[in-house]
Structure 1
Amino acid sequence: MGGITISPDVVNHISGNNYQCVSVKYSSKVEVIGDSKTNPPGAGYTNVTYSYPNVMSTAVCGSGYNTDTSDFDTDNTPPSLSGPVKKDFEHDPLLDPFESFFNKKRSEKSLLKSEFELVVGSIKPATDEDRCANRINNALATSSKVWVVGDCDLHGDSLGILGIPKILVFENGLVGASGSVTYDGAVYHLIDDPNFYDISLNSRWSNMTSSSFYAHLLDDNSVFFANGAFVPTGGIVFDTPGGVTTYNTSLALTYNRSFNPYAPKYKVQWLKGSWHDF
């Protein structure tokens, strides 16, 4: 159980110090069990940048863009300017997250991957020197762009050096974490293998040692589970059609555009799959 607080991206100016904010952009459904509160952009940090330029240091999200409610799903409580879930939760069923994020078509994925340091995922336990986070950190030592293929058990390790922009792509794999994962950068979780769900995912989850902390909370189509805070400051995109992403924790998300090398148009995008905050 837990709640979520978001210091969102700014995408437009309304008047005075009031701005149009985007906290979550999604194409399917968002479900929150607990409180959900949109804070002012930047959450008191300095040198924070947004999609909209020259945002005032005293910026607040306008009255129709500052969600402060609890226990909802967007199917039953769709975002509106006057409802409990405000328009900082933005529904766009037609958005192609891949092209909007990378500025490349999906047919160019192989070309895009050539810009990254490639890593094979690992589900080895937290005591193993060859665990997934160590593979990622070794790659981040020489590149700010890392592409992980396959299942990855992150446990509770930190990823990369704090304060340095970077991007981490997880492709066609389950991603699990238990504990607080520190990461300054952007994350893109991609599932585009047409056969990904043909075989039950449960046995793959059971092979991850971190899942012993959250196995009872997994859905049949869970593809990402964070049993603790995994909060990328550069934004996070879940392009996982048919999959469920779950955060089993209280979350405090603060967006800083400067930590994303690709600087996408919008902040946190939970896309083409359901998202649960338990």
Structure 2
Amino acid sequence: ASNLYFYTSVTFTSPDPVKLGADGWECVAVRYKDKIGAFGAVKNAGVNHSVKPSSDFDNQGKDCSPDHKTDSAAGSSNFKSDFLRDGKISPFKDLFGIEPSDHNVIRDNGKFDILYGSGSGNDKRLSECGTKLKDRINAGKAYIWVEGSCEITSAQYEGFSEAMNKSKNGAFIVIHDGSLSIMGAPSGTTAKDMKGVIFHFNHDYAVPTDGSNWNGTDAYSKLYPHGGKPNSLFPPEFLSTASFYQHGAFTLLGGQFFDTKNQSAIFYTSSNFKYNSDIVNELVSGLAQPRWVKGSWHDF
């Protein structure tokens, strides 16, 4: 539910195959609510290769259909139907089955290890966020909820990504009511896969248009370089509402969700997304309880 902007290359190694149609799988690489933009190469690698979207997936000898497989050197001007606009999506409600306003029911269900940032309002931030997340994951915490802003610096990225990979399904991390930046692997090093789910959820957080929500972060120097002037690489309509920033090489095996209405997520440099429903479903099953849906059960 965030506006999305990709600068330079982005690859979707394994999209969601969704369903098999007459010309192949009706794949979805990104489902978004309002705005999306890209500058540079965007490639959907399809489902006819060794990286499966789930362990039991059988492509039946078919790839994504031509209408659902973007391979563009010219950014968003050549997006196909694998970039699906869906004005009805509500990621928090879709995933957990309750209204976003009731989010504390999920946070306080006993599964999450909760980390609180210091400060108040837009100034609430968890210091050394990447290190604290790494330490909690290494201590066996698979579900972590951060109240406030978080930055995983380039120096923290390797330890964080290694921790995310130690268990079968990685970790489920929620960043709530704050800005989130992931600065990626250091220059000249190989990015390691992160495994799990990253959920950025802002319910009562308003983004200041002057970029002050990034003060004191490494992300600020990328978004507002040259004396605090906005970076001209990013369109103003995305930069002025940005609450997520990804910089540097980045690979995620699992799923990434944004429920940050009227806010933007900006990705800079190479990113590789490997959708895996096994990981997502296993992690979510530990959080969301089975619920009755009207009309789904009959006694006859």
Q: Given the two structures, how large is their TM-score scaled by the length of structure 1?
A: 0.77
- In the superposition, relative to structure 1, how do residues 21 and 247 fare at CA in structure 2: closer, same or farther (>3 Å)? same
Task: Note the alpha carbon deviations across 1:171-217, whole angstroms, 9 max, x for none.
Answer: 01111222327420111111110x523x5562331211343344333
2:284 aligned partner = 262
Displaced runs of 4 or more, over 3 A: 70-73
Contact 1:42–1:255 (Cα < 8 Å) also in 2: no
| AA aligned opposite 1:164 | K
- Pairs within 5 Å for 1:188-227: 188-193=199-204, 196-197=206-207, 199=208, 202-216=211-225, 217=231, 219-227=239-247
Structure showing greater Rg: 2
Shift of 1:262: 1.8
C-alpha RMSD of the superposition = 2.7
Shift of 1:120: 2.3
| AA aligned opposite 2:212 | S
Structure 1: where are the runs of 5+ without partners?
A: 78-83, 124-129, 264-278
What is the alpha-carbon distance in structure 1 between the residues aligned to residue 196 and residue 48 of structure 2? Answer: 15
- In the superposition, relative to structure 1, how do residues 72 and 161 fare at CA in structure 2: closer, same or farther (>3 Å)? closer
1:164 aligned partner = 168
What is the alpha-carbon distance in structure 1 between the residues aligned to residue 248 and residue 118 of structure 2? Answer: 20
Aligned residue for 1:41, secondary structure, equals: coil
Aligned residue for 1:9, secondary structure, equals: coil
Shift of 1:108: 3.1
Bigger proportion of residues as helix? 2
Number of residue pairs matched? 242
**Does 2:181 align with 1:187?**
no
Aligned residue for 2:152, secondary structure, equals: strand
Shift of 1:237: 1.2
- Pairs within 5 Å for 1:10-49: 10-15=17-22, 18-41=24-47, 44-45=50-51, 48-49=53-54
What is the alpha-carbon distance in structure 2 between the residues aligned to residue 59 and residue 122 of structure 1? Answer: 51
Structure 2: where are the runs of 5+ without partners?
A: 1-6, 120-126, 186-190, 226-230, 286-300
Task: Note the alpha carbon deviations across 1:132-160, whole angstroms, 9 max, x for none.
Answer: 01211222233211111111111121242
Shift of 1:226: 1.0
Contact 1:40–1:59 (Cα < 8 Å) also in 2: no
- In the superposition, relative to structure 1, how do residues 43 and 30 fare at CA in structure 2: closer, same or farther (>3 Å)? farther
Query: Which among 178, 198, 209 is matched to residue 183 of structure 2?
Result: 178
2:93 aligned partner = 99
Bigger proportion of residues as strand? 1
| AA aligned opposite 1:185 | G
Q: Given the two structures, how large is their TM-score scaled by the length of structure 2?
A: 0.72
Shift of 1:86: 1.4
Aligned residue for 1:196, secondary structure, equals: coil
1:68 aligned partner = 71
**Higher RCO, 1 or 2 (CA under 8 Å, sep at least 6)?**
1
Contact 1:122–1:153 (Cα < 8 Å) also in 2: no
| AA aligned opposite 1:5 | T
Task: Note the alpha carbon deviations across 1:13-70, whole angstroms, 9 max, x for none.
Answer: 1258x21111000001110000111112275236x408xx642374411111101224
What is the alpha-carbon distance in structure 2 between the residues aligned to residue 8 and residue 145 of structure 1? Answer: 24
- In the superposition, relative to structure 1, how do residues 122 and 222 fare at CA in structure 2: closer, same or farther (>3 Å)? farther
**Does 2:10 align with 1:4?**
yes
